[in-house]
Amino acid sequence: MSAVEKMTNAETRLARVSLPDGFGPQRRAALDRLNAMGLPGRRDEYWRWTNPTDFIAPDPVPAAPFSDDEPEIFGEIDRLKIVFRDGVFDAEASDDLSMSGVEILRLADAPDVSWASSLYGTLEANGQDPVKRPFAALNTASATDGVLIRVTGVAEKPVSLIYTHESETSDPILHHLVKLEEGAEITVLENGPAGARFNKLMEVDVAKGAKFHHIRVQGRDHERRAVTSIFTRVAEEGLFKSFTLTSNGVLTRNECVIDIVGDDANAHVAGAALGDGKTGKFHHDDTVFITHGAERGESRQVFKKVLKNGAEGIFQGKILVKPGAQKTDGYQISQSLLLDENSQFLAKPELEIYADDVQCSHGSTTGAIDETALFYLRSRGVPEEEATALLVLSFVADAIEEIEEERFRDAILTRLEGWLARHRG
């Protein structure tokens, strides 16, 4: 594709942006941001390894919905279910949106509530410096639906966002807000492919002593494309924990921007991605930026990728420790397990530290299955394929351990085992 054509695509895309009702000033500000920064090109530092063309294109590449008979991953969990069908809230398929200690509103209803107005687009705007995130600005400007969740107590059950994909050309843009008041706690689950092309953003504001848990499964649609962003601000003694399992999908870019603003706060972000190029192209990109702006903050990034048949994995993770953020403990590990010689993993770990009493470590590895461990298992009678599957589970275990509750770990493990059973050999 020529540069001229790419420009045209980007211009067309920008010209088509329309601002839905509600959050007018925030949307207009986002559009101004977007127009100022433009859509990304391959020369942008953080898009060198992931081609943004399909995200920029005015229309999505059609994607056939994927049907399977696998039970829904969180089907056994007692939860409050919120369903989006090709990006549109489906009241009938969803549960009643009331739960004690939790207020849930719909973005498309354009509610005029002050907590939402002061949060919508705010964390996204803060997260645009120093790295530009055009698809996030695009999202804030033009998101058509989403949920606005305010948590004032300890939620009695998780909120489960389910995204179904039925139209071959759906192009949903969803924007969620989660505001946790002091001491509040909630778990948000997400699963499903959502559309042919999905742009999703979640802003999570964690107040003092509040706890946010996030477990996401990016669905089995082989043809879907997704660009997602999480922006979070974590106050004093707050906790933010996010885990994502990705299996399949042509193109996935997951960004996570974390701002630790209060002392003694914790932020963990983890992911396990399984890609098999045999069932279609697989390109998965995790891009993380964690800013420590307060004392004694602890952050962990744990990313594992299992790649085969030409699958591609990207990790770009940064820890920025601001002046004065003493006693920061930052940890980052990104690892890939390449099951053949055709797959590729690229990693860019970055540390930028302006405080003198901190502990930050990072590591990145790429490797094949450990032959000694494989022989050990086979010598006990476990056939090679089953032994390989066990070693894959062993490889991703650290990332799954980041999920606090056992019932969610079990659900993820079941899904992982299913993937391994389907992708043997």
Partner 1 sequence: MLDIKNLHVKLEEEDKQILKGVNLSVESGKVHAIMGPNGSGKSTLSYVLSGRDGYEVTEGEAHLNDTDLLDSEPEERAAAGLFLAFQYPVEIPGVGNMTFLRTALNAQRKARGEEEISAGDFLKLVRGKAKSLKIDADMLKRPVNVGFSGGEKKRNEILQMAILEPKMCILDETDSGLDVDAMRLVAEGVNALRDEGRSFLVITHYQRLLDHIKPDVVHIMADGRIIETGGPELALEVEKNGYADLLAKHGISEVMA
Residues binding partner 1 (CB under 8 A): 370-373, 375-384, 386-387, 390-391, 393-398, 400-401
Chain centroid to CA 260: 18
**Residues 178, 204 contacting (CB under 8 angstroms):** yes
| Cα(102)–Cα(111) distance, integer angstroms | 16
Phi then psi dihedrals of residue 36, to 5 deg: -70, -40
Query: Shortest approach of partner 1 to residue 304 CB, angstroms?
Result: 10
| Cα(189)–Cα(285) distance, integer angstroms | 20
Which class for 18: exposed (0-12), middle (13-18), buried (19 or more C-beta within 10 A)?
Answer: exposed
Paired tokens of 248? 């399949």
Amino acid, res. 228 = T
Q: Could you tell me the strand order of the sheet in which 344-353 lies?
A: 102-106, 147-151, 173-180, 197-206, 225-234, 251-260, 283-292, 312-321, 344-353
Q: What residues contact 420, with CB distance under 8 A and at least 6 apart?
A: 389, 392, 393
**Residues 18, 31 contacting (CB under 8 angstroms):** no
DSSP string, 168-188: TT---EEEEEEEEPTT-EEEE
DSSP string, 367-406: E---HHHHHHHHHTT--HHHHHHHHHHHHHHHHHTT---H
- Is the Cβ of residue 304 or residue 308 nearer to partner 1 in the bound state? 304
Chain centroid to CA 192: 13
3-state secondary structure of 219: coil
Query: Shortest approach of partner 1 to residue 377 CB, angstroms?
Result: 8
Paired tokens of 71? 């039970």
- Is the Cβ of residue 50 or residue 335 nearer to partner 1 in the bound state? 335
